[in-house]
């Protein structure tokens, strides 16, 4: 192995070559090895689904995207607000943080049927599941982020007789942003997982229900196309979060 | 005659411990004239930084009284009478150099902040950082960051400047240069400076008066007036035999106490 630094050109081209080689192996080696198309269809077959059934895929993408995005916004907003309450009130944190910890130990998959029972079969239960799945990591990271200002930074603000409000806006919140974005990046993928899991349990539209239908109907190429689309949706959310982070955390 | 900058009587300084308060300095008697450059010299653990925090109203005294410019520490703090420079520059990394200096006029009670003129550009000029005013702190050197922290502390024209080992993390060459710049700033502004350090050379070079603290228990073991050696404008040469002799006296005071 050569251990020297790679040129920028190599750094751009090598990942493309790496992914390309795997796709080529998938396209040509897997059928040669005797893997049947109903288990793993070739990349071209999957691309064919996008060409033939584009409108079907798109009509199932939108519900999932809306559910994931709404859940992402609601779950993270609730987590951020609760973190702000917790860091400003030791009493409330001591009283309710253990309860939150307990709820986090319940697997989301086990919770999903209950959520469907409560909220029915529309989009709302999927939004709730996506929100629940985003909530906890952001709560933990946001509390740590809001507490991450150093003792001398707090002393500086106290010497200046800053109010709690000013300490929050000008010190705690900016200090918390890098940690908030770390959890938002994770949440961008888990929100999509939450929406899809919700659709599995009860829905007739969305990528989750498309995955279930395609599986039961042995439409493997359609199943794989739905998986690829779910992944693209996550990547889209992830890139948006990264762009927002670049814009708001400009130092370092 | 103006009130002394600092006047303490029977002052106990320490931390509110888990079960009972931990006293670091007990029975401190100290009077500092307004306008003085006072060096507070001592080993770690002697309570010199803790004392500074009591003066700045960051910590309540455990017992005794302290008056800062004739008022309580809390009245002085809420009237923006003090500037504090920490050992770490404590600059906010998401703010440019200029915006860091302007922090004191953006926080605190509105009426107070309005009283302070926006002298940020003037102060940046004074500490030689005008050209770097749009840089972020991580794009500056350690010495430049500490200059910026001093400019920020001076923005409200405090009557009292508290400095807690501000140059402790810098290399000796930068530290010597910043010592000279600090003395120039002090001559121009006329504020009282309480400068905490564990460097004997720095304490003697900067201070008109040096108090030496010893640890366990924290107490004043020596109090030297250096004005006879340095003249009214507090100038001296590090090689001056009288200055070298003063350093030797403080070293032996510290040695005898431990």
Give A183 to chain B, closest Cα distance, Å.
20
> Alpha helices of chain B — where are they, by DSSP H?
48-55, 73-78, 97-101, 110-115, 120-126, 142-154, 172-189, 200-206, 227-230, 241-257
The pLDDT value recorded for residue B97 is 95
* pLDDT (mean) for B139-156: 92
B202: domain CATH number is: 3.40.50.300
> Tokens 């584009």 appear where?
A54
**B256 and B129, same domain (yes or no):** no
What ipTM was assigned to the predicted interfaces of this complex? Answer: 0.91
Who among B82, B83, B138 is closest to A251 (CB)?
B138
**B249 and B171, same domain (yes or no):** yes
> Alpha helices of chain A — where are they, by DSSP H?
8-32, 43-52, 54-88, 90-104, 108-119, 124-146, 151-159, 164-167, 173-201, 207-216, 220-248
Other beta carbons within 10 Å of A133: 26
> CA of B110: which chain A residue's CA is closest?
A162
Query: Looking at domain A42-248, which CATH architecture does it have?
Result: Orthogonal Bundle (1.10)
Range of the domain at B209: 34-61+68-81+159-258
The pLDDT value recorded for residue B256 is 79
For residue B143, being part of any structural domain is answered with yes
Kindly tell me if the per-residue pLDDT of B257 is higher than 80: no
What global pTM score does this model have?
A: 0.86
* pLDDT (mean) for B179-198: 92
For residue B76, being part of any structural domain is answered with yes
Condensed to tens digits (0 to 9), the pLDDT of residues A99-127 reads 998 888 888 888 888 888 899 888 999 99
Higher pLDDT, A53 or B109: A53
Cβ–Cβ below 8 Å for A250 and B94: yes
**B77 and B203, same domain (yes or no):** yes
**B192 and B171, same domain (yes or no):** yes
* pLDDT (mean) for B2-27: 88
Pick from B106, B125, B157: which residue ends a domain?
A: B157
Across all residues in chain B, what is the average pLDDT?
A: 90
**B99 and B188, same domain (yes or no):** no
Number of structural domains chain B divides into:
2
Pick from B106, B136, B157: which residue ends a domain?
A: B157
For residue B137, being part of any structural domain is answered with yes
Cβ–Cβ below 8 Å for A163 and B88: no
**B163 and B256, same domain (yes or no):** yes
For residue B176, being part of any structural domain is answered with yes
User: Mapping DSSP to helix (H, G, I), strand (E, B) and coil, where does residue B198 land?
Assistant: coil
Give A61 to chain B, closest Cα distance, Å.
38
Whole-angstrom distance, CA of residue A222 vs CA of residue A228: 10
Could you tell me what percent of chain B has a pLDDT over 70?
97
**B229 and B103, same domain (yes or no):** no
**B174 and B49, same domain (yes or no):** yes
Who among B57, B92, B136 is closest to A174 (CB)?
B92
Burial class (CB in 10 A: 0-12, 13-18, 19+), B117: exposed
A173-A174-A179-A184 Cα dihedral, nearest 10 degrees: 80
For residue B6, being part of any structural domain is answered with no
């Amino acid at each position: 192995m050569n251990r020297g630094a790679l040129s920028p050109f190599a750094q751009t081209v090598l990942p493309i070559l790496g992914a390309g080689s795997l796709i080529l192996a998938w396209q040509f080696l897997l059928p040669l090895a005797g893997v049947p198309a109903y288990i793993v269809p070739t990349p071209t077959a999957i691309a064919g689904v996008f060409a033939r059934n584009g409108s079907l895929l798109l009509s199932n993408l939108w519900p999932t995207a809306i559910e994931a995005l709404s859940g992402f916004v609601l779950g993270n907003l609730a987590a951020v607000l609760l973190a702000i309450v917790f860091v400003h009130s030791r009493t409330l944190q001591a009283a309710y943080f253990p309860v939150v910890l307990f709820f986090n130990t319940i697997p989301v998959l086990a919770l999903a049927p209950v959520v469907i029972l409560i909220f029915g079969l529309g989009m709302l239960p999927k939004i709730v599941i996506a929100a629940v799945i985003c909530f906890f990591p952001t709560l933990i990271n946001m509390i740590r982020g809001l507490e991450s200002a150093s003792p001398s930074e707090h002393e500086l603000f106290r010497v200046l007789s800053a109010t709690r409000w000013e300490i929050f806006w000008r010190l705690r919140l900016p200090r918390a942003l890098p940690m908030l974005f770390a959890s938002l990046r994770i949440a961008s993928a888990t929100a999509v997982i939450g929406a899809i899991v919700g659709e599995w349990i009860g829905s007739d539209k969305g990528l989750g229900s498309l995955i279930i239908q395609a599986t039961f109907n042995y439409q493997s190429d359609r199943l794989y196309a739905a998986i690829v689309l779910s992944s693209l949706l996550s990547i889209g959310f992830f890139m948006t979060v990264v762009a927002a982070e670049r814009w708001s955390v400009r130092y370092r | 005659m103006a009130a002394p900058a600092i006047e303490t009587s029977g002052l106990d300084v320490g931390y509110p411990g888990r079960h009972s308060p931990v006293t670091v300095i007990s029975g401190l008697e100290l009077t500092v004239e307004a306008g003085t450059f006072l060096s507070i010299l001592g080993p770690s653990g002697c309570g010199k930084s803790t004392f500074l925090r009591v003066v700045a109203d960051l910590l309540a005294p455990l017992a005794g009284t302290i008056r800062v410019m004739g008022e309580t520490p809390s009245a002085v703090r809420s009237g923006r009478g003090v500037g504090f420079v920490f050992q770490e520059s404590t600059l906010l990394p998401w703010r440019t150099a200029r915006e860091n200096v302007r922090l004191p006029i953006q926080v605190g009670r509105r009426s107070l902040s309005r009283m302070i003129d926006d002298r940020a550009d003037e102060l940046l000029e004074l500490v030689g950082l005008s050209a770097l005013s749009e840089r972020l702190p991580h794009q500056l050197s350690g010495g430049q960051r500490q200059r910026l922290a001093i400019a920020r502390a001076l923005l409200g024209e405090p009557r009292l400047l508290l400095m807690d080992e501000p140059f402790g993390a810098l290399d000796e060459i930068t530290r010597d240069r910043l010592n000279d710049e600090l003395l120039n700033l002090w001559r121009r502004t006329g504020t009282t400076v309480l400068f905490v350090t564990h460097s004997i050379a720095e304490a003697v070079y900067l201070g008109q008066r040096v108090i030496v603290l010893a640890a366990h228990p924290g107490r004043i073991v020596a109090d030297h007036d250096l004005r006879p050696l340095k003249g009214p404008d507090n100038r001296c040469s590090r090689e001056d035999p009288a200055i070298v002799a003063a350093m030797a006296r403080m070293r032996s005071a510290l040695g005898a106490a431990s």
